[in-house]
Structure 1
Amino acid sequence: MKKNVFKIKVSTAVKGLLLLSIVSFAGFILVLDNTIRTTFSDKKWSIPSTVYARPLEIYVGASIKQADLRLELKQLGYHFVSSLTGPRQVVVHNNEFELYSSSFQFSDELSPAQKIKISLDNNIVVTLKTEDNSDLVRLEPVSIGGIYPDHNEDRLLIQLSQAPKTLQGMLVAVEDSEFYQHRGISVKGIARALVANFKQGGIAQGASTLTQQLIKNYYLSAEQTYTRKAKEALMALLMELHFDKDDILQGYMNEIYLGQDGPRAIHGFGLASQYYFKRPLADLTLDQQAMLVALVRGASYYNPWRNPERALKRRNLVLDIAVREGFLDKKLAEEAKRKPLTMEDKTIASKQRYPAYLDLVRRQLKRDYNEQDLSSNGLSIFTHFDPLVQSSAENSLKRFIKKNGQAALQGAVVITRPNTGEVIAIVGGKKASFAGFNRALDAQRQVGSLIKPAVYLAALAQPEKYNLATPINDDSYTLTMDNGQQWNPKNYDKKDHGDILLYQGLANSYNQATARLGNTLGLANIQRTIELLGGKSRKRLLPSMTLGAVNMAPLEVAQIYQTLAADGFYTPLLAIDSVVDGQGKSLKSYSLEVEQRFDAKTMYQLRYAMLAVTHEGTGKALQWLLPDFSVAGKTGTTNNLRDSWFAGFSGDMMAVVWLGRDDNKNTGLTGSSGALRVWADIFKQRSVLATQNIPPSDMSITWVNKKSGIGSQAHCTDTIPMPFVEGKEPEIEIRCRKGLGKVLDWFEALSDN
């Protein structure tokens, strides 16, 4: 009786333990299943957004330098060859370019891959021949970076459709020939591994399928234990239960380790293609594809730079295995085996080559998209970025800082198109590729005399009181403020200039005259003008704001000067042109928004004065830096030479340049001796259209005495021509014989350009 009771207890305990084990194992399986379903699903769809520059448009009559076309093609990854055999190749004979373009999905059309012939003469396209007889060709745009999910910092993620079928076939043939037959684990492989491991007395050989390898890389460690292998097998079965083969293969191709670039691991075939061959995965030749597959078995052991003979042998073995397993045609494989290793220099361009511009793109996109969509939905983001202008801006800033010799000197540049508000280049610091503090967007610095055009614009907007010839006083000026303190601004040259004409106050950047004028106009009026130009609202208004004691980032200054360059038409600065989803469907187009905020007569007069800045005032160095090329602008210098600014525009570009130190110490630079030089260097390389200043129909020209502003007969001594609103001209009080017209050239430079 006691034995039966004991047996029953033992049986019950065993059953309980068995049930507990089953429940625990089931719970364990459920945990693994939930992990697979949730995390792999997130990773699977984490395809980053790709950001593109503007496409280079080529047509007969287009202006482009041969060096610029070479640079554009180089940035696109074109290979300079002796004869064309495939996409992204170019042959150059003197001034003739013969290239084989890649197909590309734009927001409005699919551009086909085709052969194109371009002939240049004196930096102008004189002939264009294409296979589709098009009058205009858009080269595929340069990829300037991406918006990546946090857990994929060193991967150039691809979709399976971007990987050549031959590459997929070779990978499966070599790493898991039964991939499309098994359900996550291979019975044959397990049996083979068990025999090998039994002989070695431990785990000497794995039985990993592609699915198991993916599980190990995603979720598990590399330790060789039976427990880890069992967990790997279970998770592989669960993954195959929830996801199809294409999903798994895509995940594997994005995850696999394929090399080391210093401290950075190269993961995924997309990044490896750029690292080893400097071209997109879709453009690789068969022998290059085989080399990447060869690296899967051991990226260090088969490193083609360190071990070229070993790598070549492994590459050819990959081709042979693919033929044997039925994934590759033998003739194609033999042709590929005859080719030598074609590796590029062991360098890799940063996936974020232009971090300052991408920073602006990301901020503008966040108005319409959330971070998850941007970093995981495979969007194509087309921008107005011009890599040629960007290159000039970066190099000009770098050259000046190097020549200046101050290790702590920093800088920033923002460049736009005056007629559209398109932001075409941004430099955030002297190390342009460094994704750190973006001075162009975030450095809040006093702007100095850059603010003065707003003061004079506020005056000229009152034509019944002010015109360019209105006398204003530039003697010493003291203002007692509400708190009893006195403000006593001084001119940069420490001199008083007495009565001057209004335009001279801006041209020569006289502080005393400007402060007195600003106080007369009223600070609220000045602030309203700044806001109409595109500046931010500021509640605390001090008299010193009229001289630029206001903090702004270069981007805000660019918005203000964009309106000045556009003749008083306000256009929000825009980096993005359009957004396309992963299937090529257009999601959003960012159209031009324009609002006229100042009338043509007022803007014509202000531009006249800003042209005088560069012809006779603080920016007159531009007369020899950019000879015979009319531009308008304004220098800016802050107290103790902490900041050097120049903002100005031609007919086709507007740019703001800032130089300074992050520690806010003296730079020894004025606006004219510093930022203006960088600005001029950029415009000398990139601007082709001088500033135009065409008077409105209701403006007239009257000669005035250049000291008093009194109306005069033409060409009298000490007189200059000055534009006036019709009906507001001064009466002729000075009469004289006709002189020799010494100032006609001056007048033509200001009025006829």
Structure 2
Amino acid sequence: MALFGRVFRIVLIVGLVLGVLALVVYSMQLDEIVRKQFEGRRWALPARVFARPLELFNGQQLYADHLEQELKLLSYVQVDKAPTETGQYYRKGDEFQIVTRGFQFADDMEPPRSIKVSLARGKVTSLALANKGELPVMRVEPVLIGNFYPSQNEDRVLVRIKDVSPLLINGLLAVEDKKFYEHQGVNPMAIARAMVTNLKAGQTVQGGSTITQQLVKNFYLTNERSWERKLKEALMALLLELHYNKQEILEAYLNEIYLGQDGARAIHGFGLAAQFYFNRPIRELKSDQIALLIGLAKGAAFYDPRRFPERALERRNVVLTVMEQEGVLTAAEGAEARKRPLGVSEHRPSGASPFPAYLDLVRTQLQRDYREEDLRSEGLLIFTSMDPIVQLTAEQIVIKRVQQLERANRIPKNKLSGAMVISTVQGGEVIALVGGLDVRYPGYNHALIAQRQIGSLVKPAIYLAAFENKGKYGSLGDRVSDGAVTVKIGRNKYWQPGNYDQRFTGTMTVMQALMMSRNTPAVRVGVEVGLDKVIKTLGDLGIKKEIPAYPAILLGALELTPFDVQQMYQTLAANGSYSPLKSIRSVMNISNGKTLTRYPLTVQQVARPEAVEMLNFGLHQVTTNGTAKALQGVLPSWKDVAGKTGTTNDKKDSWFAGFSGQHVMTVWVGRDDSKPTNMTGGTGALKVWADMMKVMPSQPLKVGQSSRLIWVDVDAATGLLFNPACGKSVKMPFIRGTQPQKISYCAEPQLEAPSSETGIPAAPGQTRPAGTAPAQARPAVPAPQAAPRPAPRPAPAAPNGGNWVDDLMNKPGNQ
């Protein structure tokens, strides 16, 4: 018996030793897991994409309604007296008082400010601190325009304890873990109390987990219910408390706790939950809103305030009562908070970008420098050049006008689509991009993907190649035949292009040929210069795709996207300075606030500025007396622009690309099934372009102010020096040495007025009739000079209230 006792004791001791050793080894393994994950990158954080910040300074172009619209996009709350808290504003007419939130930009920290802003006639007239005098310049935080989410679809907005209201911290501890600062990760008394309560109730009605245990469960473990998992949870909680202080643990809990679901996207942490339920930053929440979020920690699905508002309200009030009992709130504060409704935002903020087309561009350009995995997990802050007001306006205008064109041209409903790209002349920053009519849904992005023939949009490249070549057609005043032309395209194969109106009009100036978009003069000039030089010019202007050397490209048998066309006209608008179009300004690391990548302006002079300036004068004449002269009845008289219409074979595609002194814009309208639209560039895309340019604050094109060119009075019809005895005089720019030397003859025949638009031939290899012989003396082609405009009108002011875009578009002369 004694022997048995000794053996039993030995076995028991050995078992205990082995058990302790096993526990030690197990704890060491758990300890490694705890430290490795907690000290490393704790979460896969989505990348946040922001619009440009709104800069405020005296003289800035800005309408009062636009400022208010941007504040609403930022979820600022309008109050009926001077604001006292961040995220509030007060408006009286064109005067604003705003308390900004502040923001950490890539280059500097913009602190919260209380400011006063006054506006008049679309400009900022005064900017000052509320109580400290004038303020030279400041930035309002940028609008969040999209996210790139981790593969597991967890989303969170990281918060720091120092940035969180003490009311949230104290309320959370009062409800979830009163002894948080006293226990070492596990609270045995709380566990025992919960066991007794649950035994009496016959079911689980109370938990004994500490905040540390809840963090362990969410951060390291699964939702499995077992004694083994509970033991593991307790051990890991003890280890976590051993290595890290209470503030670190509490901050991790604030960012990890699950608080809701948005489709496939899981809402984690109080920072994102504040935005998801109240559309507000966490630091701006009231006591009742904080109580609701604390209540969700017990069961986000069960107490979902949008699905079960009564249940959520009851839970919120229980939390308020506990906060009151624990001294977090006074009795009066608690009573007042319980009277308030839930106050959850009516529309659930979706994790999807409200601007998916623009986000496509951002992603495409980011992928040159970052892996897709990094975009979805490293918590990058991406600052773009998108102007949210211009973007929203562009979307409304494209939708409204394209639908009008669809009805007017008897096209089946939802068959007509459109795209628009807008960038700045200086720097080539893309500020708006519309990829189609379903602007809130990701899908086929016509602006970036749709390869369509460009028609007469190619002609400026032909004439620029000629001006650069300094040959037979080296100036706008040189004469070119608008007669039949035959181009050999192979053995016993010839191409005989015609004009849009199937007529030929004799001889005209290059200016007139460009202005009226005549086909045969463009082909004649292109053949004279050489296809290789035209293709090179297209490449210099920014068309990087391989272009086949077919003569038909001289009439636009070349497939490009609207974004490609935008790049080409961007270079023209910048007087031959090529800057790759860009949407990204900088990328910042959220964890340390350091800038990872900047995207500075890169410029390369690809064409002689004087040659481009001369061409741009011709493109300006297109908008005053040429195929786009309809703009004269739409735009304010002071807003000079330049541009070119484009129409493809059988009117399948309608284009207009052009620019002011500040902005470049390309518009395409067409059908995805490639059926005819019955619209030319002038009757389709030009109307969309005009609607947008009319309401967009933009500086006019400076016409006739180049010091690189010489200006000569020439005869409008012949391009020779003006003869006072006859003809019509116009000032025309010339590169020095290319100006005419002869005086116009009074007997010079006039020309027949051609049609106002053009088409392109069929595919290379097909032939067409040569057309009619040159016409006899007919009325003259409109002279390349400023046509009489309607009486000057002031710049359109954004009206107070209502839909200002609709109001402006419904004014006479814009239909």
Asked if TM exceeds 0.5, the reply is yes
Amino acid at match of 1:343: G
1:494 aligns with 2:502: yes
- Is the Cα–Cα contact under 8 Å of residues 324 and 331 in structure 2 kept in the other structure? no
The alpha carbon displacement at 1:683 in A equals 0.8
- Residue aligning to 1:291: 292
Amino acid at match of 2:679: L
Q: Cα–Cα, structure 1 residues 644 and 492, in superposed 2: closer, same or farther, change >3 Å?
A: same
Superposed CA deviations along residues 310-342 of structure 1, whole A, max 9, x for unmatched, are: 64554344344346556x364895486376236
1:103-114 → structure 2 map (5 Å cutoff): 103-114=102-113
- Aligned-partner Cα distance in 2 for 1:392–1:211: 49
The alpha carbon displacement at 1:513 in A equals 2.5
Amino acid at match of 2:179: E
Superposed CA deviations along residues 259-296 of structure 1, whole A, max 9, x for unmatched, are: 45577654432332123222111222333222221222
- Is the Cα–Cα contact under 8 Å of residues 262 and 350 in structure 2 kept in the other structure? no
- Residue aligning to 1:607: 616
Give the secondary-structure state (helix, strand or coil) at the position aligned to 2:420: strand
1:401-412 → structure 2 map (5 Å cutoff): 401-403=402-404, 404-405=406-407, 406-412=413-419
Amino acid at match of 2:281: P
Q: Cα–Cα, structure 1 residues 698 and 374, in superposed 2: closer, same or farther, change >3 Å?
A: closer
- Residue aligning to 1:453: 460
1:530-679 → structure 2 map (5 Å cutoff): 530-538=538-546, 540-582=548-590, 583-628=592-637, 629-679=639-689
The alpha carbon displacement at 1:637 in A equals 2.0
- Residue aligning to 1:686: 696
Give the secondary-structure state (helix, strand or coil) at the position aligned to 1:664: coil
- Is the Cα–Cα contact under 8 Å of residues 653 and 687 in structure 1 kept in the other structure? no
- Residue aligning to 1:76: 74
Amino acid at match of 1:747: Q
| Larger mean Cα displacement after TM superposition, 588-597 or 212-221 | 212-221
Give the secondary-structure state (helix, strand or coil) at the position aligned to 1:185: coil
- Aligned-partner Cα distance in 1 for 2:263–2:546: 48
Amino acid at match of 2:546: R
Of all paired residues, the percent bearing the same amino acid is 42
Superposed CA deviations along residues 338-365 of structure 1, whole A, max 9, x for unmatched, are: 7623615421344422222233233333
1:306-325 → structure 2 map (5 Å cutoff): 311-312=312-313, 314-322=315-323, 324-325=325-326
Root-mean-square deviation (Å): 3.7
The alpha carbon displacement at 1:478 in A equals 3.5
The alpha carbon displacement at 1:575 in A equals 1.9
Structure 2 length as normaliser, TM-score? 0.81
Q: Cα–Cα, structure 1 residues 574 and 11, in superposed 2: closer, same or farther, change >3 Å?
A: same
The alpha carbon displacement at 1:155 in A equals 4.0
Q: Cα–Cα, structure 1 residues 401 and 244, in superposed 2: closer, same or farther, change >3 Å?
A: farther
Give the secondary-structure state (helix, strand or coil) at the position aligned to 1:669: coil
Q: Cα–Cα, structure 1 residues 64 and 458, in superposed 2: closer, same or farther, change >3 Å?
A: same
- Residue aligning to 1:747: 785
- Aligned-partner Cα distance in 2 for 1:311–1:40: 33
- Aligned-partner Cα distance in 2 for 1:245–1:645: 63
1:434 aligns with 2:441: yes
- Residue aligning to 1:51: 49
- Aligned-partner Cα distance in 2 for 1:558–1:200: 71
- Is the Cα–Cα contact under 8 Å of residues 713 and 732 in structure 1 kept in the other structure? no
1:140 aligns with 2:141: yes
- Is the Cα–Cα contact under 8 Å of residues 620 and 641 in structure 2 kept in the other structure? yes
The alpha carbon displacement at 1:497 in A equals 3.1
| Larger mean Cα displacement after TM superposition, 190-199 or 728-737 | 728-737
1:514 aligns with 2:513: no
- Is the Cα–Cα contact under 8 Å of residues 354 and 440 in structure 2 kept in the other structure? yes
Superposed CA deviations along residues 196-251 of structure 1, whole A, max 9, x for unmatched, are: 44445665543333343344445655454445444544554555566654554444
Give the secondary-structure state (helix, strand or coil) at the position aligned to 1:574: coil
The alpha carbon displacement at 1:480 in A equals 2.9
Give the secondary-structure state (helix, strand or coil) at the position aligned to 1:461: helix
- Aligned-partner Cα distance in 1 for 2:163–2:441: 29
Q: Cα–Cα, structure 1 residues 221 and 601, in superposed 2: closer, same or farther, change >3 Å?
A: closer
The alpha carbon displacement at 1:171 in A equals 1.8
- Residue aligning to 1:475: 483
Amino acid at match of 2:654: S
- Is the Cα–Cα contact under 8 Å of residues 149 and 155 in structure 2 kept in the other structure? no
1:85 aligns with 2:92: no
The alpha carbon displacement at 1:718 in A equals 5.5
- Residue aligning to 1:391: 392
- Is the Cα–Cα contact under 8 Å of residues 51 and 384 in structure 2 kept in the other structure? yes
The alpha carbon displacement at 1:530 in A equals 1.1
1:178-327 → structure 2 map (5 Å cutoff): 178-199=179-200, 205-218=206-219, 222=223, 224-237=225-238, 240=241, 245-260=246-261, 266-299=267-300, 302-304=303-305, 311-312=312-313, 314-322=315-323, 324-325=325-326
- Is the Cα–Cα contact under 8 Å of residues 698 and 725 in structure 1 kept in the other structure? yes
Q: Cα–Cα, structure 1 residues 618 and 245, in superposed 2: closer, same or farther, change >3 Å?
A: farther
1:414 aligns with 2:413: no
Amino acid at match of 1:611: H
Amino acid at match of 2:628: G
- Aligned-partner Cα distance in 2 for 1:416–1:130: 32
- Residue aligning to 1:341: 341
| Larger mean Cα displacement after TM superposition, 465-474 or 179-188 | 179-188
- Is the Cα–Cα contact under 8 Å of residues 269 and 292 in structure 1 kept in the other structure? yes
Give the secondary-structure state (helix, strand or coil) at the position aligned to 1:414: strand
- Is the Cα–Cα contact under 8 Å of residues 547 and 558 in structure 2 kept in the other structure? no
- Aligned-partner Cα distance in 1 for 2:669–2:199: 71
- Aligned-partner Cα distance in 2 for 1:601–1:695: 12
- Aligned-partner Cα distance in 2 for 1:266–1:186: 28
Q: Cα–Cα, structure 1 residues 201 and 315, in superposed 2: closer, same or farther, change >3 Å?
A: closer
2:450 pairs, out of 443, 464, 471, with 443
| Larger mean Cα displacement after TM superposition, 499-508 or 644-653 | 499-508
The alpha carbon displacement at 1:596 in A equals 2.1
- Residue aligning to 1:65: 63
Give the secondary-structure state (helix, strand or coil) at the position aligned to 1:44: coil
- Residue aligning to 2:153: 152
Q: Cα–Cα, structure 1 residues 696 and 715, in superposed 2: closer, same or farther, change >3 Å?
A: farther
Q: Cα–Cα, structure 1 residues 181 and 528, in superposed 2: closer, same or farther, change >3 Å?
A: farther
Query: Unaligned 5+ residue runs, structure 2?
Result: 408-412, 748-779, 793-815
Query: Unaligned 5+ residue runs, structure 1?
Result: none
Amino acid at match of 1:456: Y
Superposed CA deviations along residues 368-416 of structure 1, whole A, max 9, x for unmatched, are: 4444554444443322221111111111111123322531322222111
Amino acid at match of 2:421: V
The alpha carbon displacement at 1:536 in A equals 0.1
- Aligned-partner Cα distance in 1 for 2:493–2:31: 73
- Is the Cα–Cα contact under 8 Å of residues 54 and 383 in structure 1 kept in the other structure? yes
- Residue aligning to 2:807: none
| Larger mean Cα displacement after TM superposition, 578-587 or 289-298 | 578-587
- Is the Cα–Cα contact under 8 Å of residues 477 and 719 in structure 2 kept in the other structure? yes
Q: In the comparison of the two structures, how many residue pairs are matched?
A: 741
1:360 aligns with 2:368: no
Give the secondary-structure state (helix, strand or coil) at the position aligned to 2:319: helix
Amino acid at match of 2:617: Y
- Aligned-partner Cα distance in 2 for 1:195–1:483: 99
